[in-house]
Structure formats: structure tokens, C-alpha cells
Amino acid sequence: MKNEVKGVSAESVERQLSRLRNSPLFSHSRRYPIFLDYVVRKTLDGHGDQLKERTVGVEAFGRPSSYDLNADPVVRVTAGEVRKRLAQYYYEPDHQHELRIELRPGSYVPEFRLVGETPGFATEAALDPVETSVVEDAGRVDSPPSTSVTIQPLPSLAVPDTALSPQARKWRRVAACFGVALLFATGGAVLPLLHRPSATDTFWRPVVEANGPVLISVASVVAMVNSNAVAPNPSSVSGHPLALDPIAISDATALSSIQQVLSVREKTSTLESSTGTSFADLQKGPVVLISGFNNQWTMRITNPLRFYFVRTSTDDYTIQDRTNPKQVWGINTAGPFVKMDRDFGIVARFHDPTTEQIVVVAAGIGENGTIAASRFLTDERYLSELKRERRLPLPEQNFEAVVETQIIDGKPGPPRVVATYLW
């Protein structure tokens, strides 16, 4: 560990780090202190150049080295929240004269300085009188020991009030008031931009802020072979695996993406198969429904919505528009799977009047539609595009959309919105 960084001793930084960790802004979270500890100590060790998003994700949060930065933006989200909390901490009068640990936007390398000092020229005397001698030595690093430099102050160019006419003094006061007002107006306009929530934050906010853990109800493979969609009771050892309600890989993929979004935002979740989910379970808190035709709760809860699932024949599975019966998106399952070139899904976030809870839906007609739907709800790129088009729902709005994905070699491509509805 370095003795100091740009004139600030490592001991002072450690003490300030301890103050921050013990403040309510950081002590009530597990992830924010981990991030702050890691980037500060990495910088004190002289390895600030290694503070890249993937490195922080792997070393601080235990992510695998090949993890998807877009699907799991834990580092970016945490860094943004830490910046905001640092600003809140130093805004309080009791902390305004403490050593500042700052994290500039776009960087994971912290800077250390005192109030009133420009970055890189901080001294310690105002913070810790016991370290005055250390700081005095640090202040003479760039000056030869035998050289004495005297800096003469420049003459003041300000005109005293007594030399001005009453009218001029009046206009000076008006100009000063105008300048202060402009400063506050500019600050009020710029500060919200520094902490603007992402499109993903906006979409998931009602779920994250709702009371109770999120129930994720995933379609069961049992529902595909059991018309009653009820798992059999295991009367024997051989019957036990079927009663476990195995899920499809596509649904597991969707589940993983959604759980990452919730985990990054420190929202707990529970998992249940659709056949094991009761109506009472749906009434306890926010709900995420994964998959379409093989999830009985998706079929029931989305049935009153504008876009809903309909099986029109033995082999034809569709999504229909209640306001426009001629508008149908569907696939025919009679042909070979390898020749299927597209799939469709429903994504939604709405307040369900039956359960009186927030419900999020990521459901496809087929497995590729479910994967595409979950990608749309968890990838900042797609939600940001929706925001640019002014179709991203506000937290108090209900939202439903139909997404389409092209299938290449049996795998889904990017989701594309083909219809949306806000209410």
C-alpha cells in the first residue's frame, strides 16, 4: 500500500473510509461498502489502472470471468448508487470538512481531496491536526530544499462600493442576486442528469419498491403433458422426479436473466413452478410469470389483457389483439422445429386487479419467444430504445407489448417490438 496518494496519506483515507462505512447511507447495504472498499484499496495499492468493469465484477462481486456485462450491470448500477450516496454524505453539514472520497462519472477510480482543494493538491491539516508534520513534508516534495519562492499577491481589481454611485451599487446587487439565482437554477438542472435512472431501473421500479419478495412462477414441464396442470403426488421413489416439476432450459434462461436484474437492485425473490403456485401465493407480493401456454397462471392472468394467448387449432398457437381481431401473431407446430424461422412473445407489467399485485410477464408462444421476451425486459439496450420512442411506461402506468424474434439455427435473435399498449 502506498503511504500517500497525491499528497493524501493512506491512513487518512482509511479513516475516512471507515466513517463512510459506518454511516447509514452505506451500513444498511451489503453491496455498496464492498464496492467502495474494493476501489479505494485498489487505488491505495497503486492498481487504480486495473479498475475496469469486468475486473470489479469478478474480484469484488464474485462474477465469473466470462459474465455478460449487459445482462448483469451490477458494477455500473452499484457505482452510480455509490456516487449518489457519497454526494448525499458530503452534503450534510457535519461532513463538509472531512476528507472527500469522490467517484467521478464514467470512472471507477476514486479521488481523494479536501473541500476547497483542487484534485491532486489536498492537504491534511484541516482534517487531522495530528498529521500536520506529514502534510508539510508532502507539500515540499516539488520544491528544492535550498530554494525559497515568494509569491506576491496581485493587486485587487475590484472597485469598492464607496467609489460607486448609489445607482451603480444598486445594479451591482441586482447582478449579484441574478448570478446566485442562475447558479442555483443551473445546479438544479444538472444534478438530476447526473443521477438519472436507467430505463431498466424505471421499468422494474414498481416491482423493486413493492412490499415482499418477488414470486417467480416458472412453467412446469408437467403442464405440457398433464392437461390438469397438476403435478402427481409421489407415491413411490420412481414417481418422485416427476413431482419435482422440472422446467425447460429456455425458461431457466429467462429465470436467470430476471433474477440477475432483481439481485442487482437488492430485491429478494422466491421461485415456484406454475403447478406449485397457488392463488394465495400470487396475493402475497409482486409476481413474475415466465412462459406462456405451459404456465396456467400466465394464461389466466393475461387473458383479460389486450394481447392474449389463444390456441386456435391442434397445431396453431397465437397471440391475438382484442381490439383488432384480424391482427394475429402465431406459429404452426406441425412442421419440423428446425424450419421454424420466428417466434413471438408477450411482455407486460401491470397492476392485476384480481391479485391486487404488480405482475410482470415474460412469455413466448414457443421457447424462443420466452427467451426473447426475458431479454427485452432485462437488457438496457431494448428498454432504452423503448424510452427513446416514448413508449417506456412510467412507474404508475400499465404496459403490454408483443415482441418478435427471428430464429437462426434454432436460437432466438434480438427481440423486436411489433405492438405496444399503455393504460
Segments forming the whole domain that contains residue 46: 4-139
Summarize the confidence of residues 398-421 as an average pLDDT.
Answer: 91
Per-residue pLDDT at 230 exceeds 70: no
The pLDDT of residue 166 is: 66
Q: Looking at the structure, do residues 205 and 132 belong to the same domain, yes or no?
A: no
157 is a domain residue: no
Which amino acid appears at position 131 of this protein? E
Per-residue pLDDT at 136 exceeds 60: no
Residue 155 per-residue DSSP state: P
Total structural domains within the chain? 2
Give the global pTM: 0.55
169 is a domain residue: no
Per-residue pLDDT at 139 exceeds 50: no
Q: What are the φ/ψ torsions at residue 66 (nearest 5 degrees)?
A: -105, 15
Q: Looking at the structure, do residues 274 and 412 belong to the same domain, yes or no?
A: yes
Summarize the confidence of residues 71-95 as an average pLDDT.
Answer: 87
Report the distance separating Cα 408 and Cα 405, nearest Å.
10
Per-residue pLDDT at 266 exceeds 60: yes
Q: Looking at the structure, do residues 125 and 205 belong to the same domain, yes or no?
A: no
Per-residue pLDDT at 163 exceeds 50: yes
406 is a domain residue: yes
Q: What is the SS3 assignment for 200? A: helix
183 is a domain residue: no
Q: Beta strands 357-364 and 399-408: pairing type?
A: unpaired
263 is a domain residue: yes
At residue 346 the predicted structure's pLDDT band, cuts being 50, 70 and 90, is: very high
Dihedral angle sign, alpha carbons of residues 135, 139, 142, 147: negative
The pLDDT of residue 35 is: 93
Q: Looking at the structure, do residues 252 and 376 belong to the same domain, yes or no?
A: yes
Q: Looking at the structure, do residues 103 and 214 belong to the same domain, yes or no?
A: no
90 is a domain residue: yes
The pLDDT of residue 124 is: 37
Q: Which of 139, 154, 185 is the last residue of a domain?
A: 139
Per-residue pLDDT at 86 exceeds 80: yes
The pLDDT of residue 301 is: 93
**Between 57 and 143, the higher pLDDT residue:** 57
How does pLDDT run across 21-76, given as a tens digit for each residue? 999 888 888 889 999 999 999 999 888 888 999 999 999 999 998 888 888 888 99
Q: Looking at the structure, do residues 66 and 214 belong to the same domain, yes or no?
A: no
Mean pLDDT of the chain: 79
170 is a domain residue: no
